Structure 1
Amino acid sequence: MSKNKVPNERHDEKMRPPGPPGGGFGPNMGPGQKANNFKGTMKKLVAFCKSYMLFILIALLLAFVGSAFNVYGPHLLSDMTDLIQEGLTASIDLSAIQRVGFILAALYGLGFIFSYFQGYIMATVTQKITKRMRTELSEKMNRIPLKYFDKTSIGNVLSRITNDIDTIGQTLNNSLGQLVTSAATFVGVLIMMFYTNWVMALTAIFSTLIGFMLMTVIMKNSQKYFVQQQKQLGDINGHIEEMYAGHQIVKVYNGEKEAKEKFHAINDRLYDNAWKSQFLSGIMMPIMQFIGNFGYVAVCIVGGLLVTNDVISIGTIVAFMVYIRLFTQPLAQIAQAATNLQSTAAASERVFEFMEEEELEDETNKSLKVKHVKGDVAFKNVSFGYLDDKLIIKDFSLDVKAGQKIAIVGPTGAGKTTLVNLLMRFYEINRGEITIDGLPTHQLTREQVHQMFCMVLQDTWLFEGTIRENIIYSKPNVTNEEVVAACKAVGIHHTIQALPNGYDTVLNDKVNLSVGQKQLVTIARALIENAPMLILDEATSSVDTRTEVQIQQAMDQLMVGKTSFVIAHRLSTIKNADLILVMKDGDILETGSHEELLAKHGFYADLYNSQFESAS
């Protein structure tokens, strides 16, 4: 993964707001993940696969018929053995043996062909189902309110798209067909054994009855470990993703020890649950092999007695030796498939839990269109809180005329970024109304609102691609001249030309850009977007003073004729703002120009003078 790439972030500054104050992303903060409803979850999975059910049924039918051919084989093998036995005392009827042999070969061949096509169909259907599931989860992510991601770790979400869906796919591809084949084989062998000799059939059944009991006990106690295994996978992915994204902070604060301890704690829990689930799953086969061997002994002893009393022939014993293998093997496969289905149920519950999360309001019925945006913005008695009982913005009102530059300043937690989040409709307001050109934003689609703004945040976002691709991101028909002009305007052109392939240099782990250079690239992206309104959230905080002056000049040109909202801590950068809002605890304390606010000797003057004193 490129160090420039942050997983699961929105692919544009326009679309990715900062989280709320105190918004945690700990790996243990995801929603409840207990798998308490195996039948309910499997019904949801069946419903999801409904469009492919015909192909699945065909595959299962092929598996059933193929198993029937294989089951009938031992009966012909018994006839062949009897023909050979009879020939020992007279002449061997080779033509009859050949005839039986050809039929036997044909049956086994047909069984192979049917099994092949069953595997082909299931592999194809499985990949289509998992592809659709990944697609729906990816689309779902864009329909979920940001408050969900404020309380759920990114790694936990990614684990559902990767680990959980892979688990579902493997089960559908392998275990489902195996379950049907094994069940068909088991039932078929049972019928054929009773058809051949009921005494030998009862002997085989009683010798393997213990296998059923052990299988039931193991299945009953293994489900909880599979559930915990999937949960711990999500937890460990979340922790690793966080530590990777913030590895510099971890090192700066000497947090390696704590990070390792937390990793080992999660890893130990994952090991414990994975070991228990895999042990209980793996012990099935040895148990069933033991039962099968025990069945061989029982069949040989009882069969020998029956042959001695002329009740059955030696061919019957040979047939039952094969039947014992065909009878015990399906038990082990059924147990293994059932265990895999439990793991799939745990994974499916996590996937469907995410699919069933509350979504953003459906806006397909909103037909209001805005072709030409002037940029008049109004906040009318707006109140908002990330929690319903704790408001951050309280009865906020503001009128902004088109083309004005509005600076928003104040201490940390004053509500500056929250105000921008509401303007972009990243969150819905509790009360009040926000309008653009007199139109309430809640009557417009979110996509329309986002198209009205270009946004540059303090935290940069660059994906693994060329510098040109990063700059023109999601903007069609951008010429090379426009890209170069934007980069020259922000002062990054010469830096890009010095790279090995210039604008075609791929940003990955081998290309190191400073934090300030990355910010310049994102500012160039905003210049290319050229939306009617502009939001700058500490956009120049990562660059040096000289570059900041250069960027400020470019931004002043960019802001001409545009409504601009600038969040800044360095008050020297917003002296030329048309209006400065001084916020504290969600309220506006002061408004005015830079000179007017200084003349008031109020809160803004104190902030400005304290920065001036610190700088001196």
Structure 2
Amino acid sequence: MTDTDAPRPLTTILGPIRGQLAAAIVLQTAASAAGIGMLVAMAEIGKRLLDPAADGTVWAVALAGAGAALASVLLAAAANVVTHLADTALQLRLRRGLADRLGRVPLSWYGGRGSGQVKKVVHDDVQAMHYLVAHTVLDVTSVVVAPVAALTYLATVDWRLALVCTLPLAAGAALFRHAMAGAGPKMAAYGRAAREINSAAVEFVDGIAVLKTFGRAGAAHRRFREAADAFSDFFARWAAGTTAVTTTSQLVVTAPVVLLVVLASGLPAAVAGWIPPSALVAFILLAPAVAAPVAGIGTRVQALRTGLTAAGDVAALLDEPADSRRIEPVQPVGTTVRLDDVGFSYDGTSRVLEGVNLELAPGTVTALVGPSGAGKTTVARLIAGLHEPTTGTVTVGGADIGDLDPALLHRTVGFVLQEVILLRTSIADNIALARPHATRAEIEAAARAAQIHDRIAAQPGGYDAVVGVDVSLSGGEAQRLSIARALLADAPVMVLDEATAYADPHAEAQIQRALSALAAGRTLLVIAHRLASVRTADQIVVLDHGRVVERGRHDDLLAADGRYARMWRAQETITPVAAGGKKEAP
């Protein structure tokens, strides 16, 4: 985000709490002025004690100073409470808005973004705005009000010496400006480096178990280490170029330096009789308050830039277009699934699929086979609505999936994919994900049909056990839980993508029985590696390099002695066909 972009997201994000921030600014202004008022009272007390000509209202001034000190503390505390309440309300609003937006963007939106990037916006960027809202607003107000109030009073004492007080302030501001030259691009690079570390950290956590299993633990943290090293090198170069100037800008506005400048000018003036000696007391007390705010301006500017950058990223996500299919959804007629001349690319250049034509007739089993990387899973995801085709159309019941309401699409097309995602909630809620109002009896019936009920009942918490907290499920158990979820959803079209890919032989047998229940009476698209498990399918479609190279029934494809026949002969073991006839799936 550039500096010129800042007002728009700041207005968008902070708009709902503008009134609270305005109230906090008023309170902080009064608090800062009262704080300076306390110092003014002390200066006036010194004046009355040192100047015989002054009146004797010392106690009245002292009481006024005490009142100003108390008011400063109370007003500052009130301003702090207001900004923190505003920050709490803002964070709640933003997180709700982001969750809603993430639920309404097209699923393809996630394809080009890692979970680390999403996490950065939803958590890190919202959290980064805390200092902007709860502290920076008050700090900036204090930085402006305190010096102005102090300088105004000092000008009434002696305007010439007041001008001298501004010299350290001007020098510190000039040096800081020099140190911050070119900070905009550097902050953008800082944000990119932070996002890279986030993505690398998530990848590290997600992949370390698998990599350790294969003795490649070093590879698990290589990207994270490289990202951290790159960030360290970048930040070290940035700091090396600015540390000396920044440190000098802070030193010239410290109280000893300011007092040295004031006394170097004020003492000779007092000795010469140009100013009364009592005037020096006012300058000794208040001159540091004129320049001191510059000492902390670096951290405030950094926090402000960080907050503005975070606000821009949050606003960008909130402005992401929602899934257009929610606008005027159409109704499918029947459940026939067709892919017409479908092409697909993840990166916009290289095609994963090209010219794919496929029809899934109601009540039939279609098996999709082929070598790894042929595009089988991509076809499954297109039919399930997880991606939209780059070219061509995917229709369900004659309606383009791009025009179907997502809820209707997912009631029509269910899927069991290789990688099962279970939520950190109860087992019952995980099964009832598609039907949250399902009864416990319906949930248990689905679990029994999926061959997972006994495992659930064996847990102390049963169906109320929280996944990942009270119970840990193996890959095969997670697959059966996913099948129970699909059974409860009762979609007429099912897509099964290597549903037994991660199962051991015992678990595979149980999953096969669960799939037997799932397949009954439904239209199935089955992606399988073990060809023996799909040899009774109504049609077998062979994909290779993103294209359909063969299609037909098992015996016909063997007789054709083409790609399928070679794959069949290459598999040394034949997986037994699951009981229940041709409606079975792997």
Aligned residue in 2 for 1:484: 444
Equivalent runs, 1:339-488 vs 2, <5 Å: 339-355=302-318, 359=321, 361-369=323-331, 374-488=334-448
Equivalent runs, 1:21-40 vs 2, <5 Å: 35=1, 37-40=2-5
SS at match of 1:606: helix
SS at match of 2:356: strand
1:137 to 98, 103, 108: 98
Q: Distance in 2 between matches of 1:64 and 1:544?
A: 69
After TM superposition, give the deviation of residue 236 of structure 1 in Å. 1.8
After TM superposition, give the deviation of residue 198 of structure 1 in Å. 1.2
Q: Distance in 1 between matches of 2:88 and 2:159?
A: 44
TM-score of the superposed pair, with normalisation by structure 2: 0.88
Quick one: higher RCO (CA 8 Å, sep 6+), 1 or 2?
A: 1
Q: Is the 8 A contact 1:288 1:331 kept in 2?
A: no
Name which of structure 1's ranges 211-220 and 275-284 shifts more when overlaid on structure 2.
275-284
Aligned residue in 2 for 1:62: 27
Name which of structure 1's ranges 166-175 and 534-543 shifts more when overlaid on structure 2.
166-175
Q: Distance in 1 between matches of 2:175 and 2:231?
A: 25
In the alignment, residue 324 of structure 2 is paired with which amino acid?
D
1:601 and 1:269, CA in 2 relative to 1: closer, same or farther beyond 3 A?
closer
Q: Distance in 2 between matches of 1:263 and 1:475?
A: 39
Q: Distance in 1 between matches of 2:149 and 2:392?
A: 71
Name which of structure 1's ranges 395-404 and 165-174 shifts more when overlaid on structure 2.
395-404
Note the alpha carbon deviations across 1:115-163, whole angstroms, 9 max, x for none. Answer: 2222122112223333333333333434445555444332133123222
1:376 and 1:364, CA in 2 relative to 1: closer, same or farther beyond 3 A?
closer
Q: Is the 8 A contact 2:128 2:307 kept in 1?
A: yes
Q: Distance in 2 between matches of 1:455 and 1:419?
A: 12
> RMSD value over aligned CA atoms?
3.1
2:208 to 242, 247, 251: 247
After TM superposition, give the deviation of residue 260 of structure 1 in Å. 4.0
After TM superposition, give the deviation of residue 388 of structure 1 in Å. 4.8
After TM superposition, give the deviation of residue 458 of structure 1 in Å. 1.0
1:493 and 1:132, CA in 2 relative to 1: closer, same or farther beyond 3 A?
same
Equivalent runs, 1:31-430 vs 2, <5 Å: 35=1, 37-86=2-51, 93=56, 96-220=57-181, 222-274=183-235, 287-288=250-251, 291-355=254-318, 359=321, 361-369=323-331, 374-430=334-390
Q: Distance in 1 between matches of 2:269 and 2:487?
A: 93
Note the alpha carbon deviations across 1:2-28, whole angstroms, 9 max, x for none. Answer: xxxxxxxxxxxxxxxxxxxxxxxxxxx
Q: Is the 8 A contact 2:171 2:249 kept in 1?
A: no
Aligned residue in 2 for 1:502: 462
SS at match of 1:426: coil
1:596 to 556, 568, 573: 556
1:53 and 1:290, CA in 2 relative to 1: closer, same or farther beyond 3 A?
closer
1:566 and 1:502, CA in 2 relative to 1: closer, same or farther beyond 3 A?
same
In the alignment, residue 203 of structure 2 is paired with which amino acid?
E
1:175 and 1:518, CA in 2 relative to 1: closer, same or farther beyond 3 A?
same
SS at match of 2:438: coil
In the alignment, residue 81 of structure 1 is paired with which amino acid?
G
After TM superposition, give the deviation of residue 239 of structure 1 in Å. 1.4
Aligned residue in 1 for 2:583: none
Note the alpha carbon deviations across 1:300-354, whole angstroms, 9 max, x for none. Answer: 3433333334443343222111211211222223343223223334434444454
Runs of 5+ in structure 1 lacking a partner?
A: 1-34
Q: Distance in 2 between matches of 1:172 and 1:221?
A: 25
Aligned residue in 2 for 1:18: none
Q: Distance in 1 between matches of 2:336 and 2:96?
A: 38
In the alignment, residue 60 of structure 2 is paired with which amino acid?
R
1:281 and 1:510, CA in 2 relative to 1: closer, same or farther beyond 3 A?
farther
After TM superposition, give the deviation of residue 463 of structure 1 in Å. 2.3
Q: Distance in 2 between matches of 1:388 and 1:81?
A: 76
Q: Which runs of 4+ in 1 moved over 6 A?
A: 276-279
After TM superposition, give the deviation of residue 581 of structure 1 in Å. 1.9
In the alignment, residue 483 of structure 2 is paired with which amino acid?
I
The count of residues paired between Structure 1 and Structure 2 equals 574
SS at match of 2:180: helix
1:510 and 1:441, CA in 2 relative to 1: closer, same or farther beyond 3 A?
closer
In the alignment, residue 20 of structure 2 is paired with which amino acid?
F
Q: Distance in 2 between matches of 1:277 and 1:324?
A: 33
Q: Distance in 1 between matches of 2:329 and 2:396?
A: 16
Runs of 5+ in structure 2 lacking a partner?
A: 577-586
Aligned residue in 2 for 1:5: none
In the alignment, residue 231 of structure 1 is paired with which amino acid?
R
After TM superposition, give the deviation of residue 537 of structure 1 in Å. 0.5
After TM superposition, give the deviation of residue 196 of structure 1 in Å. 1.5
Q: Distance in 2 between matches of 1:459 and 1:188?
A: 64
SS at match of 1:478: coil
2:544 to 555, 580, 584: 584
TM-score of the superposed pair, with normalisation by structure 1: 0.84
In the alignment, residue 581 of structure 1 is paired with which amino acid?
V
Q: Distance in 2 between matches of 1:471 and 1:126?
A: 37
Q: Distance in 2 between matches of 1:227 and 1:238?
A: 17
Name which of structure 1's ranges 302-311 and 449-458 shifts more when overlaid on structure 2.
302-311
Q: Distance in 2 between matches of 1:244 and 1:75?
A: 58
Q: Is the 8 A contact 1:143 1:360 kept in 2?
A: yes
1:607 to 567, 571, 574: 567
Q: Is the 8 A contact 2:412 2:493 kept in 1?
A: yes
Q: Is the 8 A contact 1:409 1:568 kept in 2?
A: yes
Q: Is the 8 A contact 1:73 1:107 kept in 2?
A: yes
Q: Is the 8 A contact 2:253 2:288 kept in 1?
A: no
In the alignment, residue 394 of structure 2 is paired with which amino acid?
I
After TM superposition, give the deviation of residue 490 of structure 1 in Å. 2.7
After TM superposition, give the deviation of residue 584 of structure 1 in Å. 2.5
Q: Is the 8 A contact 2:497 2:527 kept in 1?
A: yes
Q: Is the 8 A contact 1:288 1:328 kept in 2?
A: no
Q: Distance in 2 between matches of 1:509 and 1:73?
A: 56
After TM superposition, give the deviation of residue 376 of structure 1 in Å. 2.1
In the alignment, residue 419 of structure 1 is paired with which amino acid?
V
Name which of structure 1's ranges 238-247 and 145-154 shifts more when overlaid on structure 2.
145-154
SS at match of 1:246: helix
SS at match of 1:363: helix
Q: Is the 8 A contact 2:254 2:292 kept in 1?
A: no
In the alignment, residue 134 of structure 1 is paired with which amino acid?
R
